[in-house]
A and B are shown apart, each in its own frame.
Chain A
Amino acid sequence: MGNTNILLVGVGGQGILLASEVMSEVFRRAGFDVKKSEVHGMAQRGGIVSSHVRFGEKVYSPMIEEGDADIMLSFELMEALRWEHYLKPDAFLATSNVRMVPPICNSGKIVYPDNTAEKLEEIRPEARILDIESTLREVGNSKVTNVIMLGVLSTILKIPEDSWLDVVKEAVPAKLVDVNLKAFTAGRAFMTKN
């Protein structure tokens, strides 16, 4: 069996690194070889972030090749479009519907198109565009997109739910465990509802 390549993309400050940490640890505990890699850019907040996670029997390179990702979790709508070409044709793509308009649009010369979701669906009809915006409101915390995405991921990989919950609980601050478990459940619900 080949390795599984997971690409996480989004905007600095959305908690992508924590999500990739948690899943890597889940894969390690499940007995897989794991490698992950990401780049720390110049901006602390608001820049493009991507993280590569690879697991399987034996992983050599920490980097995913273009067109070779099996799964992509996008924390922001435009970022899904930006990285879509990294996916295999039959890959799984889930993206948040949250739009983070970069300040470069303030000049009015560059516009964040209203039809970004439609554009994505045109290229990737199978893409799951999740209403994370509403979920964040329901959960009552704007910073849990990462754990919602872990919930989504947990439904498509054959690793027991408890293994995910164990690592999530260890990874988040004690007072935020409850809200994160809610977020995880909400993520799973996206995939099991219909």
Chain B
Amino acid sequence: MKEEFNIISNLIEKNTRVLDVGCGNGDLMKFLQENKTKDIRGLEISKEKVQNCLSKGLTVIEGNAESDLKQFPKSSFDYVILSQTLQAFLNPELVINELLKVGKKVIVTIPNFGYWRVRLQLLFKGTMPVTENLPHEWYNTPNLHMCTIKDFYNFCSTKNIKIFKSIALKKSRISEINKSNLNYKNLDSHLGIFLIES
């Protein structure tokens, strides 16, 4: 978690306006507030988590990214962050489009379903993968649309979404993803972090 926060923080310029979509209990918001910018908002669907955030004095709105991002004006945030949440939406493509409208730049992080540990579970055990990063069983997972680093990379190029930076994370090892190492990074990383723009 800490590495992911650091990477996200390094992608963000100081004193900019940030929206964290699916902000959970506000850990990333707090981290960014201390390190980068005071001007940060959150959107979260769980009442309990919204209440936790508000209790910490964080500005968070209870709402659903699929329906409530519309209320923010175009380009009203310098950065919109979607941290490990894309796979939980009914319509991830719609959400990405909404994020790209609301934010000048968008940071998306993706738990990589192409990671070799994940692949091995299906290949050898013959069961749906359960890992540290993807701890749910198939019958109770909130994740509806799992994808791989390569899937998201290809999605961006198909939809003409500019990738400014793509970073792979394995444990605490950070590396850049590019066209030539894509297959390898897709196999060897548990998390992909993308800085994109429409």
Q: Do A and B come from one complex?
A: no
Residues of B within 8 A of A (CB): none
Q: Which residues of A contact B (CB under 8 A)?
A: none
